[in-house]
Amino acid sequence: MVLVLALGDLHVPHRAADLPAKFKSMLVPGKIQHIICTGNLCIKEVHDYLKSLCPDLHITRGEYDEDARYPETKTLTIGLFKLGLCHGHQVVPWGDLDSLAMLQRQLDVDILVTGHTHQFKAYKHEGGVVINPGSATGAYSSITYDVNPSFVLMDIDGLRVVVYVYELIDGEVKVDKIDFKKTATMHA
Amino acid sequence: MAEEERRRRFSNLRSVRWRVDLGILPAPPEASVEEHRRAAADSRRRYVSLKRRLLVDPHVPKEEGRSSNFVVDNPLSQNPDSSWGRFFRGAELEKNVDQDLSRLYPEDGSYFQTPACQAMLRRILLMWCLQHPEYGYRQGMHELLAPLVYVLQVDIDKLSQVRKLHEDCFNDDFDGVPFPDTDMVFSYKPRKEPNWNLGDDNENNSERSSKTNTLDELDSDTKEIILLSDAYGAEGELGIVLSERFMEHDAYSMFDGLMDGGSGVVRMAEFFSPSSVGSSSNLPPVIEASSALYHLLSIVEPTLHNHFIELKVEPQWFALRWLRVLFGREFCLNDLLVIWDKVFACSNNMLLSSDEEYNFRILCSARGAFIAAMAVSMLLHIRSSLLATEIDASCLQKLLNFPTNIDVQKLIEKANALQSIAIDVNTSSSSFLLKRDSCEYDRVHSNHATSTPPRTPLHPVSESYWEEKWRDVHKDGTTPKESEKGNSFSKQLKKSLTQRLGLSRTESDPSPLKVLSVKNNARNSVRRCLLNTLSDDLGRSNEVAGKIQQDEFPIVSVHREPPMSSAEPSKSKAVGENVTVSPLCVAKLNPLKNSVVEPAHENATQRTKCIAEACSSGENSPVFYAASSGNEPENAQDIDSESSSVTSNSCAGDPVIDGILKDDSSDSNDDSKTIQDSEAASSDTSPDQDGIAERAVVSNERKPFISKLQWLLKLGRPSVEGNMEKSSGETSDDKQGVDTSCSSLSDGNSNNSRGTVKMASGDKKVMGTLKNLGQNMLENIQVIESAFQQDRGQPGPVENFSNNILGGKGQITAMAALTELRKISNLLSEM
């Protein structure tokens, strides 16, 4: 029963001032065990805020991040799942599933979390799951202005991961739920 | 009687008996096995439904369509209704519970530390706390639950033993009738052949199987066990009363019964709640129950109670643990089971009708009264060591480390005796007492660390008795003895005392608290004046009587010095503790006049007791009290203390003492004349007391009595200046006066015994009180001895004389004094 928060592309303070209030009210410390952040925070204050939510924080470098020490990619194991993290601007074409699958195979992970497109996506394909948590602040992207703030909460429980998607649509938080089960043959 | 039968019925099976007591299984002794089984089955079903409702797993998908609103039901939801919210709350509770469970009985063979047991305990506690969110989980609940599980386990073990012994009775034949051997298959059906038993059992098998073929051959207890666990009885397997499978369910029911009190009075859950719901006063129930404990103690053993108050030991410091865990931390597990047998055997029903007033809620049921009585009997058990403590920390230490090698049966017997007292105490007091106590308890509650201790309740008997005595005394008027006295001082004393007594009669009703409080400050000055005049008068006469206890007092007073000087001036408790050693401390306490010593009234009580014990003279002590009680109102806050001390003094059993005290407490006039009168009066009352018996002796005694006064007042005077050291210096200087007073005290002792002759003729009550007096003396002697034992280990630096506590000579003389005290007590008991 591990709760993992996945978010990214906040672009604070350049493109957005802060997380939406409704999101902030939901994110209370103590409930979440891990936070994985795709990148583009961009400043240290956001880093500290996320750290306050949960001490176990993993970040990869986005192109606008002011801290140059974040890695390009990261992998971690939570429960029985292997997670991979990358910002996504390195994978061209941006947001292309096959390219991302290539990255996933490269990193050898079950769940790949990337961002950069500021659009929520969740794919399940051949061996794994690719999740794009979108932009938590709703900051505009190079591709589009029409961005809904969104983030993802994964509940990893044994061989099953439940993905809750939180989107702020028209000022209301909408939650959706996706189930993924890891099969034994996912990765030999 | 019904209870006896019940006991006999399940005397071997504690868990069944406790379930009956806690209301889970049917109570009436004629309840059949079926009824028990049905009740057991019901309780188990309740538990299971509760479990299904409360222990929710958010992962389990709900069958009724997955249209659940994810906005509500997501892990981050702030919505309290969401299943995730409940999950997180449960997780929080579980964390707390685990903290306690890991420390549960780690020493006891670790039955409780096995993972299975821990898991079961955790679930039960979680369930109960989820079911009762207003209490949450508090530390201690696990200790209440553990013995319940233990007895269940013990009974199940017993069952398996019985099962092994009486294999044949646990047959699986459906109707008890074996199927006819018409079928080859059935004929080979094993009839519970114990072939698979251990090898050494085999030779016994044939014996056993021949012995116990039918159920009826067994003794009733075993028969009952078997019937209760028959898998085919009422309710089938769910109804097996002693069932391992349903141990968790049963434990939960027992725990719930204990905590909720089964619609009775004592609900353990209340002891865990900080709010004042469910208590008669506006105090948390556990505080109120602790006060009930003190209340009972003050009636049963005022010495100890006063000692506690003097040391400012609040009852809930130790009683909290005792009550919340029902003494689980004070006794080993087996002893605890015996105690709990008794506790549960007492019914929990409300004894009072709904409109009757009561003082303490806990005492409204037999069970609660027994709990309180048990606590008091525990206190009495370590009484002497407690009385020997000097500071609250050491007292508390002794209380919290209750000795382990005790005879539990004795404690229980004592508690039985006290139980009825407890129940009476609850309702016996008049309304004023209730009001008074509630005022006091409010104050206790608000001034946590300080001041006002629970008041000793008045002995209603004593008041009227003393008034009677006073009337008797003054009816005699001036006796011929008075002419013999020829001492204006004593005349004056008597007069002033008469006046005081007169005043006291109007004030003896303790209900007008305000009046007392108004008089408080007046009293201070009165007493000071009294002391001054007394000292003046005493200074006139210088008697040197015997030298019997000459050395005792200097030693004793010296003995007290280090504690006094070391402690703050307000720690007259040190003095109070040693007060029983000698009446010197009375004078000693005078120095503490100016200090805000709130247990002063306790000191007075102690003083009066010690005086009563040491000199046990009706005539001598009044003056002492007149002098010493002047110090009581030093603590202007203690309004009630005065009257309570006055009346509690009366419990010591000396008529004039009490009269004088009441006199003092109510005094509001500073009149040197009245003082002198009272002095005269007291000295006059002494001859009255001696009365007919021996006049010559009295005249002799009067002299030392006066010298005693003188000495007292000399000590008192420096105290008026508020200088303890000086007074201690004076003490050592006044050894001479001490000698005289000592001798006078000793004389007073004999005097009192003679005086008792007169008293005995008058009133039977006096006899009883005197007997109590003697007993008190004996006990005080024990305290002295223990105190001396203690102090022997505390060698003080021999810098000044005052620190030379117990030189060898001092010890000898102290022991001599103690033997004297013993003689006195023997005399008294003869009376």
pLDDT at A57: 93
**Residues of B near A (CB-CB distance < 8 A)?**
59, 70-71, 74-78, 88
Q: Cα–Cα distance between B303 and B603 in angstroms, integer?
A: 10
Q: Quote the CA–CA distance of B720 and B520 in Å, as a whole number.
A: 17
From A162's Cα to the closest Cα of chain B, the distance in A is 9
A-chain residues near B77 (CB < 8 A): 26
From chain B, pick out residues whose CB is under 8 angstroms from the CB of A180: none
Query: Complex ipTM, two decimals?
Result: 0.78
B58 to chain A, closest Cα gap in Å: 10
Query: Closest Cα of chain B to A175: distance in Å?
Result: 5
Task: Report CA dihedral (B751, B754, B756, B760) to the nearest 10 degrees.
Answer: -170
Residue A7, strand partner residues: A37
Residue B80 buriedness (CB in 10 A; 0-12 / 13-18 / 19+): exposed
**Structure token digits, residue B625:** 């009290």
Please report, as a single letter, which amino acid is at residue B537.
Answer: D
B54–chain A nearest CA distance, Å: 18
pTM: 0.53
Q: What share of chain B is helix, strand, coil (3-state, %, to 5)?
A: 70, 0, 30
Residue B88 with chain A: CB contacts under 8 Å: 31
Mean pLDDT of chain A: 89
The token duo for B362 is: 């806990």
Report how far apart, in Å, the C-alpha atoms of B814 and of each of B78, B551, B811 are: 74, 8, 5
Give the least confident one: A91-100, A171-180, B610-619: B610-619
Q: How far apart are CA B71 and CA A34, in angstroms?
A: 22
Contact status, residue A20 vs residue A48, Cβ threshold 8 Å: no
Predicted local distance difference test score (pLDDT) of residue B765: 64
Phi, psi of B106 (to 5 degrees): -70, -15
Mode of pairing for the β-strands spanning A120-125 and A111-113: unpaired
pLDDT by residue (tens digit) across A25-41? 989 888 899 999 999 98
Contact B607, B778 (CB under 8 A): no
B74, B78, B88 ranked by CB distance to A164: nearest: B74
Token code pair at residue B4? 């006896």
Query: Residue B790's pLDDT is what?
Result: 58
Cβ within 8 Å of residue A126, ≥6 positions away: A101
Contact B77 A166 (CB under 8 A): no
More confident residue, A125 or B490: A125
Amino acid at A167: E
d(C-alpha B347, C-alpha B261), whole Å: 10
How high is the pLDDT of residue A105? 92
What are the mean pLDDT values of chain B's consecutive 10-residue runs (831 residues total)?
Answer: 50 75 73 77 85 71 51 74 78 85 74 82 85 82 85 83 71 52 47 42 41 54 69 71 80 84 72 67 76 82 85 83 83 84 80 69 78 85 84 84 81 84 68 40 41 40 56 56 45 54 44 42 48 49 40 39 39 38 39 39 42 40 38 39 39 40 41 41 41 42 49 44 39 40 41 42 62 69 68 45 48 73 77 64
Amino acid residing at A3: L
Please give the Cα distance from B623 to B539 (Å, whole number). 15
Give the CA angle between residues B745, B749, B754 to the nearest 5°.
140
* 3-state secondary structure string across chain A: CEEEEEECCCCECCCCCCCCHHHHHHCCCCCCCEEEECCCCECHHHHHHHHHHCCCEEECCCCCCCCCCCCCEEEEEECCEEEEEECCCCCCCCCCHHHHHHHHHHHCCCEEECCCCCCEEEEEECCEEEEEECCCCCCCCCCCCCCCCEEEEEEEECCEEEEEEEEEECCEEEEEEEEEECCCCCCC
* Band (A140; pLDDT cuts 50, 70, 90): very high
- The pLDDT, as a whole number, for residue B161 is 81
Q: Report which secondary-structure segment, H or E, holds B256.
A: helix B247-260
State the pLDDT at residue A71. 93
Residue of A nearest to B57 (CA): A1
